[in-house]
Structure 1
């Protein structure tokens, strides 16, 4: 159990679409990922983004259809394409971060340090499966809703043999097998976008939790320093504290690199997440509103909408949660350095401890575009903002 256990789900997701950073190590292996990534982006743009954007212009003015078009796939997959480009631009830096993680797993460790790293690896794997499950549930939920509408099991689709998503194609897609092929490529585009969306989140979560584990190991080394006041022991203590200071500096640089890579990606994500939660909640309120009291409530569509909101919200919640844990762990190092018996140390060792405390004064924070720090408070603010936008949309709907 180690690196592959923690990053296994993420590795599979991103390797399928050609985004796994490790593939840059070989020129031969580099051809296949680029080809896979090109095909993935082509399918997403051609069969989802362009087709839905064209349809959006055609239905402009119909609030319900516009929101359905934007929130179901158009806006999410457009955001995924932007995030894909940003992520790919940092592929070399991400490969270096992965190499650092692998080196940490291969380095000599105490039993306690191994247990701590395994605990964080298990958490990473569990959160990765949650992200992937909700993502696939959303895509297949939309598929089930559309099939039910085509078969007249659910209301909401007057014209038959329409694409899976609200889209326009410049060809006659209703005859078989063109109709089935169009559905297949739209479904495939949604699946590939989900793999990228969840994969990037899992990658971020894995890096942050690994960093948290390394900080915890460093804190344990501080707390277990043997301070006995023996002058002959000072040199040994100096060597141990010197290692901790150097390691702490390396981990701070690791955190800075994560921040540099992901702050732009998550700025786009925070903005889109706020809008998507608002739009999906609007559709949910519309489905169960009094306007539909004479129609059977479409349970399957409500389940899909709830799953989709959970899918978008849970990803952001997980990122805020792990960033909060990282911040707490980085602050704890300063307290641990203060609590040890520094008064029994040589002045040189006390100064080294002071360096650790000064570096830990400002906890490690991960931001979205340098504007806001990831934390549970940020997640609450996103929900509040989405609620404000929802109130505005409902007011606009009442006036139409």
Structure 2
């Protein structure tokens, strides 16, 4: 009796550990999106729905519009103009990402429920070692995003306070600009009429800036989480196909197994199609912004180092922002590359079976599997290009080309 209780306790503990691994794969993403109020939830409260909308409005009214209008007033300060325009891109993209989450919220809730069911089914079938590997990759990327967001926000707050790159120290700033907020902004009224009003404005702009930075990275982590779940399920399917020959030796009904593989493969293809539909438009915008951001930050950093005009905090801020933008785009490209390879490997696994010993109807099912892998699963930037290493290095190459042109024009 005691032995049975001990075994049962061990099984329960092992099951809890496996569930914890699943929760850990999206924990940090959920924390970040939860702060914005954008985590897809079936029972989202009215407060949460209002929270995410209010956050989007704050980003637009406290950061994006005041900074966009301010560009006109320091247009002669080229470094400040480039810095302000490039960093302002992040906030408008964050608003677009909030819009995507809200628009596809029901879809994401259904996908998350499906992911949870897939995890439990894979664990029960003995494929925990496979899905855990890709859950850990998702967790590590999510945690990296969490660290980058909060360390970046801390450094940015200090850098903007004491060494704001938007302020031209050689010339007196336009008096219509408010230069002592988090960002140099145009506010159509005097925020210094009282200390309380100024503090409220500063806190609101700082809060909106932090929310924008969080949303920018957390959305990408959420996308990566969904892609790595799909990759894990494709790897499980690949393992099932590899095991078909072994199952045949013990006279298992192979056609039943092949029918399951074909059906499951179709389900995963539909999952990838939904992912593509939800993310392709915003990924195109992020592709363009990543290229522009890397070019702009490189221009500021190299130009500042040559002339010796940048302080240490400004250099750190420029490097961190450039790396933050580029690293998240790399996470997406890496996930897309692994997804494409995982889908191709399904076809290779099917071909490597002893299909020549199968019956005629079993061979047809093998053909269906291979046929479905002729066009690999891809997540694209609105059909322009698929997320891959090639796209990432193309962005780098293009950015360096733009950067060399800008520097040549500047020092001509």
TM-score, normalising length from structure 1?
Answer: 0.90
TM-aligned CA distance change 1:108 to 1:398, over 3 Å: closer
- Per-residue deviation, 1:112: 4.8
Q: Deviations over 1:310-367 (max 9, x none)?
A: 1000000011011111111111111111111112221111111111011111211110
TM-aligned CA distance change 1:229 to 1:56, over 3 Å: closer
Alignment of 1:353 onto 2:353: no
- Per-residue deviation, 1:18: 2.1
Between stretches 130-139 and 213-222, larger displacement belongs to 130-139
TM-aligned CA distance change 1:157 to 1:17, over 3 Å: farther
Q: Name the counterpart of 1:32.
A: 47
Alignment of 1:50 onto 2:65: yes
Matches of 1:229 and 1:125 in 2, distance apart?
37
Matches of 2:229 and 2:255 in 1, distance apart?
27
Matches of 1:112 and 1:284 in 2, distance apart?
52
Q: Name the counterpart of 1:213.
A: 232
SS at match of 2:58: helix
Matches of 1:156 and 1:105 in 2, distance apart?
60
- Per-residue deviation, 1:250: 0.4
Unaligned segments of structure 1, at least 5 residues: none
Q: Is the 8 A contact 1:267 1:369 kept in 2?
A: yes
Alignment of 1:167 onto 2:163: no
SS at match of 1:109: helix
Q: Is the 8 A contact 1:48 1:186 kept in 2?
A: yes
Q: Is the 8 A contact 2:247 2:254 kept in 1?
A: no
SS at match of 1:177: helix
Q: Is the 8 A contact 1:47 1:189 kept in 2?
A: yes
Q: Name the counterpart of 1:81.
A: 95
Q: Name the counterpart of 1:310.
A: 323
- Per-residue deviation, 1:111: 6.7
Q: Is the 8 A contact 1:219 1:333 kept in 2?
A: yes
Give matches, 1:270-289, under 5 Å.
270-289=287-306
Q: Deviations over 1:104-140 (max 9, x none)?
A: 1222535751111111111111101112222223222
Matches of 1:228 and 1:273 in 2, distance apart?
49
Q: Is the 8 A contact 1:52 1:69 kept in 2?
A: yes
Q: Name the counterpart of 2:267.
A: 250
Please list every run of at least 4 consecutive aligned residues from structure 1 whose deviation after the TM superposition is greater than 6 angstroms: 154-161
Q: Is the 8 A contact 1:6 1:206 kept in 2?
A: yes
Alignment of 1:240 onto 2:254: no
Q: Name the counterpart of 2:141.
A: 127
Q: Is the 8 A contact 2:245 2:354 kept in 1?
A: no
- Per-residue deviation, 1:91: 1.4
Give matches, 1:81-160, under 5 Å.
81-107=95-121, 109=123, 112-149=126-163
SS at match of 2:138: helix
How many residues are treated as equivalent by the alignment? 385
Unaligned segments of structure 2, at least 5 residues: 1-19
SS at match of 2:186: coil
- Per-residue deviation, 1:158: 6.7
Instruction: Determine which of 260, 268, 277 is the counterpart of 2:277.
Output: 260
Matches of 1:157 and 1:300 in 2, distance apart?
21
Q: Is the 8 A contact 1:3 1:101 kept in 2?
A: no
Q: Is the 8 A contact 2:248 2:254 kept in 1?
A: no
TM-aligned CA distance change 1:112 to 1:215, over 3 Å: same
- Per-residue deviation, 1:395: 3.1
SS at match of 2:411: helix
CA RMSD in angstroms comes to 2.2
- Per-residue deviation, 1:61: 3.7
Q: Deviations over 1:267-306 (max 9, x none)?
A: 11101111111111111112201x23xx6x5112111211
Q: Is the 8 A contact 1:282 1:390 kept in 2?
A: yes
SS at match of 2:374: coil
Between stretches 43-52 and 12-21, larger displacement belongs to 12-21
Matches of 1:222 and 1:336 in 2, distance apart?
6
Q: Deviations over 1:215-271 (max 9, x none)?
A: 0000101101145877x936x111111111100110011111100100011011101
Q: Is the 8 A contact 1:334 1:356 kept in 2?
A: yes
